[in-house]
Amino acid sequence: MFAMRFFLLLISGGLLSVQLPAQNEKLSKLQQFDNDDYEQIKPDSSFLELKNAYNQAIEKKDQQAAANCLSQMGQVCFHLGHFPQALDYHLQAISIYRKTNASRQLAGNLNEVGVLYYYNKQPERSREHYEQALDIYRSVHDNAGVALTYGMIGHLYEKEQDYDSAFLYQRHALTTYLLADDKKGMSKIYENIGSIYEDQAVYDSAAWYFKKALDLNMEAGDKLARIEILNNLGDVSRKTGHYPEALYQTRRALVLALELHEQRQLSGAYRDLAKAHHLAGTNDSAFYYLELSRQYLLETYSDENSKQVALLQSVYDIEKKNNEIERLQNARKTNRIMTVAIVLVVLLLVALGLLIISRQRLKIRNEQILRMQHRQIFETEKELMEAALQNKQLQEGKLKEELEVRSRELTTHTLHLIQKNQLLEELRVRLDEMVKEDKRDQKKQLKQLLSQINHSFNHDQYWVDFRNIFEQVHQAFFDNLKRYCDTLTSNDLRLVALLKMNMESGDIATLLGISTDSLRVVRYRLRKKLNLQQGESLTAFIQSL
């Protein structure tokens, strides 16, 4: 709140007043708005008027007026909480003020930027801008600006809990205001010093400075600042247990807030009354005032949100309109340049043609022949490029056909393996049945035959052909797999290849010559080798390689 009050003091003190065109009376009133009647100003219409004044200043090349408009637009954005937009406008104003050597306006905007950085929690940058403003005010012997900046730096130190430095700068500010006999400024500094004592829980000293600030404020007649002083006096009385006095001072602040239609101050005053009644043991009154505080706070946020929405819409409309104007202006300039260029080129070509026709007919013929040669070369190069493109397309088509053939071969090969293994599986089942019949004369031979069939499941030459075709279709698949895990066996690679082809578990078991239960065991071992987490899909992982 203290930084906000300093910023309001900048505006109300006239340090940042804008000198806009005299014919715009409504805008002249706007440029001198005070914090007392800010709530009655519609920020969207005010912003539009400032933007129009800025555009007029740009058209008239009046940099000083343009900078003043930018500063005022920054103030409107600041009051509505649009800090980035406010910072942008103030920085633009600072740039112009530096070029035009407008020292006081430059210092005022440096202070405003310091406040923005304070709210953005960048105290070092805030202090940097305050120091620059202070140097400028000293150089132009502006005691009011020096005192104001001292107070801002002191407030910054107070928020960093460096109370010694805060006291030092506030006393510097007070001395400067005393020399200038500025009662309004002195009142503000007395209030700031009282706030430092309040932070340190030195309530007697805080109350003395707040009362001193109130006396000077009564002489200066700043009612809005008086509300804050009365609230501070009420806070000190409440913290020291003097509840009747606290209620008295807070009610005085409440009356002023009602008179000035300050909803935020009304909310704060009702909240302080609720605190005092609660500490005094009258909880019914505390609840009543707390509810009033909440209602005014909600109304304040609602009003501010409405203003912010209106301002954002105005900014958006302005930017959209400016962009469209700029686009049309650029298009108009481009058309003019193109028209002039075309006219000049036509005139030059006509002059050159007349000169060539009159004096260099032979050269014209040579140029025509050369042009024809160039056209023929161009046509030839075009035909060559088209032929090369067709050749490339044919090569791509051939490669696609080869890939499709390989895919069909792989599918056919896989189907052949499935059929062969299914046949072998049937033979093995029948041979198992024959072995179980216990005929001694054929039992040994049947066991040998069964062993050969089992051996053929694992050492079939078809697997070699299958892998060659698979690697041609899925290039670099096994390379990626080996980079991920280089401990896979040939059986593991077979299983991975079949999973890559999205084959069913039954077909995979038939191809590998194992049961579905054995297949589950093999898949589990493969997951462990690939370090897959529980729940992660083995098939999805292989498809992603």
Whether 539 is in a domain gets the answer yes
Residues 416 and 455 in one domain: yes
Among 97, 129, 136, 131, which Cα is nearest to 113's?
Answer: 129
- Give the angle subtended at the CA of 495 by the CAs of 494 and 499, to the nearest 5°: 120
Predicted pLDDT of residue 38: 40
pLDDT digits (tens, 9 = 90+) for 257-287: 888 777 677 777 788 888 888 887 887 777 7
In a domain, 424, yes or no: yes
Shared-domain flag, residues 493 and 466 = no
Q: How far is CA 475 from CA 66, 450, 468, in A?
A: 67, 37, 10
458 with 387, same domain?
A: yes
Question: Given a cut of 80, is residue 496 above it in pLDDT?
Answer: yes
The CATH number for 505's domain is: 1.10.10.10
Alpha carbon 529 to its chain centroid, in Å, reads: 44
**Predicted confidence (pLDDT) per residue in 145-174, tens digit:** 888 898 889 888 888 888 888 889 889 888
- Specify the amino acid at residue 324: E
pTM recorded for the entire structure: 0.47
The domain boundary, picked from 445, 473, 501, lies at 473
Same domain, 385 and 460: yes
- Top-confidence residue, 221 or 30: 221
pLDDT value at 30 more than 50: no
Asked, for residue 535, whether it belongs to a domain, the answer is yes
Residue 80: pLDDT over 90:
no
The encoded tokens of residue 258 equal 């009602």
Residues recorded for the chain: 545
- Distance from C-alpha of 126 to C-alpha of 517, rounded to nearest angstrom: 73
Q: Is 304 exposed, middle or buried, given 0-12, 13-18 or 19+ CB atoms closer than 10 A?
A: middle
pLDDT for the residue numbered 208: 93
Same domain, residue pair 480 and 465: no
Q: Domain of 240? A: 235-307
- CA 429 to CA 173: how far, in whole Å? 106
**Rounded Cα distance, 101 and 167, in Å:** 33
In a domain, 401, yes or no: yes
3-state DSSP assignment of residue 242 = coil
For 348-373, what is each residue's pLDDT tens digit? 888 887 888 877 778 778 888 888 88
Which of 257, 280, 307 is the last residue before a domain boundary? Answer: 307
Whether 83 maps to a domain, the answer reads: no
Rounded (10°) angle between helices 361-436 and 440-458: 160
Q: Are 447 and 495 found together in one domain?
A: no
Last residue of a domain, one of 259, 287, 307: 307
Cα–Cα distance for residue pair 28/11, rounded to 1 Å: 14
Instruction: Tell whether 384 and 465 lie within a shared domain.
Output: yes
Token digits of residue 31 = 């440029």
The total number of structural domains that make up the chain? 3
- Residue 123 pLDDT > 90: no
